[in-house]
Structure 1
Amino acid sequence: MGQRPNQLTPHESPIHYLGAEMRAWRNERGLSLGALGKQIRFNSSYMARAERGGQAPSADLVAAYDRALGASGALIRLHASIAQGVPLDRLASGHVAKAGPHVAKAPAALVGETDNQAPSEEGMSVPVRTDDGRIIFVSLSRRTLLGALGAGAAIAAASDLPAVAEAPRRSTLASSGADPIEHLKATRRVLIENDNLFGPHRVIPAVRQQVAAIKELRADRRGADRRQLLQLQTQFSEFCGWLYQDLGDFRAAEHWLREALEASHMSGDPELTTYILARRSQLAGDMRDPIEAVDVAEAAEDLATPGSRLAAVAATYGAHGQALRKDETATLRAYEHARELQATMDPDPRSSWGVWLDSAYIEVQRAQSLTVLGKHREAAEGFRTAISDLPAGYHRDRGVYLAREAVALGQAGEAEQAATIGLQALSVGLDTGSGRITRELARLDADLAKWRTVPTVTEFKDAMNESVLRQA
């Protein structure tokens, strides 16, 4: 006998209402979660949480439901209305809100093809405080997001990137005599600098533009030039994956890392392929997938040249996978292995991959793993050390470490200190729009609920209220 579906509560919130509508459409078409999941290539557990209202569905998931179930845009319009802040009573007045399917009786128009397009940069996951005090994440338009995050993010996103960030066109470059490969390399450096200062919202559209330009330039290039373009396409695709990872849009990050891996194979650069595999392990760690994090890291370490920096990078990310498995002994052993590789590696100044890896970087990753293992005070000390050692200019990374230190302190019961540091992290989060910072602070916000009468905690919670969208 199959498991009875959970009872839905569509009138609890707009997100719960959307989830109930999604399930109603699926049931009307006679599809199980597993069957639909295989069709639209989403994880069925994530789909179930979205239908229950336990997790806000992304714009991509809603669009996939709408297409596959023949909803003719009904689900997409409902999702857009929620993003615009339409109240629950108005949402329900336009739909059948009683028991039974809330869908039209038109025949199912199932889509046989899966959506292989890159997720849109217009849909961004942002925090929303619900009526019961929780913070959930909802996909909103870029315009709405900037309104929520405040002037700092808006200025950063609205200001023009330097002219070098404009995508080169073959005709323009031909007439100017510019070297497109050097132009693209310079552009990537500029975009990386802008990302670290202002966060991913401002940079993603420009990075995607560069990838499109590279694909256009490849059409009439051969030999060494074509290989260099493929290498640059790999680098820009990996960078785009990182930007989406920072936003917390893991499906988009996976898409761009797959693009990067494919381009790296075409470029014939084994070192670049190894680096992309190591990055996939890092992403799996952020997605809390221990098996993928460990297995991909081991594959990357096996491919890496013995004694290389990339071997140490892969080992570091694999160590966090062990922490996600809650195996403390294996975790500490894995970090010791990573430290040994880092201490004995060939610096290889010719290689540009993983140049940021040093003992301090390994220690901050270890601190994150200690948080997972419940070693909160030790983790907080690790983050504090990492912050003091961070080079100038790493604005967004400082905010991430501050947020993680605050979470560790909150878990350790140091509420006042956690709130003080959380406020510092929130300031950086507003500047950069980093999803990593926001998600850590949403966790801190929940952890500090029992200390809400402490003045500093009250100040932190008030600041969080001002920085997130209130649910209508």
Structure 2
Amino acid sequence: MANRPRALDPQASPAALFGAELRALRQRRSLSLAAVGRLVHVSGDLIGKIEKADRRPQADLVTQLDRALEAEGAIERLGRGVVNEDDHGGRPASAAPVLSPDDAPARLRQVIDTVRNGDHAMNDRADPGTLVSHALAAERVLPGVGRDARTPLYSSIAEAHQLAGWMSFDHGRPRQAERLLGTARGWVERATDPALAAFVLGPNLSFVATYGGDPALGVERAYGAIGWARRSGNHRLTGFAMAIGARAHARLGETDLCLDLLDQASTQLERHDPDGHDPDAHRWLSVFDRAALDGHRGSCLLDLDQPDRALAPLAEQERTSPHQFVRNRVIWRLDRIDALLRLGEIDQACADLAAATDTATGVTPRVLRRFAAIGLRLGELPRSAATTDALDRLRLLSAASA
């Protein structure tokens, strides 16, 4: 009996999505790896490695594959994110800002807040290059900044690199994300801010590792973050680090450890005193609340292959989540659609997908991969009016986001 092909996770990276789409197209055309290789003049072994995201294709091979498989541009669109994975992401804007020692703290703070709000809403104000250029400008004037303002500015520079790193990950550039988050950690050490250290190490570096294919490293980073969060005395932050640790345990299939951390995160949220911390001091923490914890719980249960149990917390997240967190609402709606598909609730899943595609604007590559993963699941099902409409919507969304 032939070996069953290794399961692919199209959400793991741009290369993983490219490989999953390539395999799906090849199988729909009943072509072997060797047959596709002959069409584009490479070995079948190379095609197999590309499908498994073990190799990245060259630009000319992407074009040849699109034509050979009659993909009508779909493979070429996906290939741009693979071939150019780290091009331009997080680099300073061409017009470098000029800051003075007096205005640097306020101007950098304003840029961070504007970009963070745009990032949550997935709109065109979210530009990681703007963050990096302003952080570098602030760094240049540090010698002239007064002693009392210097440490808070260290934290803002760290936060700018943190947010740029997170956005680079969201834009499909994991190596760029790791570099920027590493820079953020260096500035956190100068700021001696245990809360920001926990945030960079846990909700950022841990999540990037977990969903970049190394959940064991994600666990390690999350537990380091929990320690820093406890030192900060912020229960909400501790709960956030625990929720991200639970996501890593779920990816490893460690059910008991995952659910225990989620319960601990819930306890930490209950202990959080919203009046006990300056709301302006940790604005980056606004993204974690009871609704977000429900979303993380639903995602964990889905990763643990318990779609029936995932539906309730994902529905609760949808009901109570603040509307400004557009990206998170869309992602968790896609998790709910995934759960419905696994449970055979095809018509409801397609109806929810129609709503999700109508809501999604300014879709980032990571979110687009989530939509594409749903498309791959739908493509495996018998065609009906509902699935055909859903697949057509996904194709339009992909083309509009190219």
1:62-461 matched pairs, under 5 angstroms: 78-79=58-59, 81=60, 85=63, 129-130=74-75, 138-139=81-82, 168-170=97-99, 173=100, 179-199=103-123, 202-221=126-145, 223-279=147-203, 280-304=205-229, 305=231, 306=233, 308-347=235-274, 348-350=276-278, 351-352=281-282, 354-429=285-360, 431-461=361-391
Identity %: 18
Distance 1:364 1:224, change over 3 A: same
- In 2, the alpha carbon distance for the partners of 1:331 and 1:136 equals 35
3-state SS in 2 of match to 1:354 = helix
- In 1, the alpha carbon distance for the partners of 2:331 and 2:399 equals 21
Write the deviation string for residues 47-102 of structure 1: whole angstroms up to 9, x where unpaired.
x89954533966xxx8xxxxxxxxxxxxxxx52x467x467789xxxxxxxxxxxx
3-state SS in 1 of match to 2:82 = strand
- In 2, the alpha carbon distance for the partners of 1:86 and 1:438 equals 23
Q: TM-score, normalised on structure 1?
A: 0.65
Counterpart position of 2:53:
55
Counterpart position of 1:70:
none
Counterpart position of 2:3:
none
State the one-letter code of the partner of 2:258.
T
1:402 to partner: Cα distance:
1.7
Distance 1:88 1:453, change over 3 A: closer
Distance 1:413 1:288, change over 3 A: farther
1:320 to partner: Cα distance:
1.4
- Match of residue 12, structure 1, among 36, 54, 75: 36
Range with bigger deviation, 432-441 or 214-223: 214-223
State the one-letter code of the partner of 1:443.
A
- In 2, the alpha carbon distance for the partners of 1:439 and 1:248 equals 9
| Structure 1: gaps (5+ residues) | 1-7, 24-47, 63-77, 91-126, 143-160
Aligned 8 A contact 1:322 1:330 in 2 = yes
Aligned 8 A contact 1:363 1:386 in 2 = yes
Runs of 4+ in 1 over 6 A off after TM superposition: 13-18, 86-90
Write the deviation string for residues 258-298 of structure 1: whole angstroms up to 9, x where unpaired.
11111111222222212211122222232242211222111
Aligned 8 A contact 1:402 1:424 in 2 = no
State the one-letter code of the partner of 1:435.
P
Distance 1:246 1:16, change over 3 A: farther
Q: TM-score, normalised on structure 2?
A: 0.75
1:130 to partner: Cα distance:
5.0
Structure showing greater radius of gyration is 1
Distance 1:14 1:372, change over 3 A: farther
Counterpart position of 1:463:
393
3-state SS in 2 of match to 1:282 = helix
3-state SS in 1 of match to 2:182 = helix
Aligned 8 A contact 2:105 2:138 in 1 = no
Aligned 8 A contact 2:242 2:265 in 1 = yes
1:417 to partner: Cα distance:
1.4
Aligned 8 A contact 1:57 1:138 in 2 = no
State the one-letter code of the partner of 1:427.
D
Write the deviation string for residues 286-315 of structure 1: whole angstroms up to 9, x where unpaired.
224221122211111122235632221111
Range with bigger deviation, 341-350 or 327-336: 341-350
- In 1, the alpha carbon distance for the partners of 2:149 and 2:47 equals 47
Aligned 8 A contact 1:370 1:379 in 2 = yes
Aligned 8 A contact 1:277 1:297 in 2 = yes
3-state SS in 1 of match to 2:324 = coil
Counterpart position of 1:117:
none
3-state SS in 2 of match to 1:192 = helix
Aligned 8 A contact 1:312 1:341 in 2 = yes
Aligned length: 350
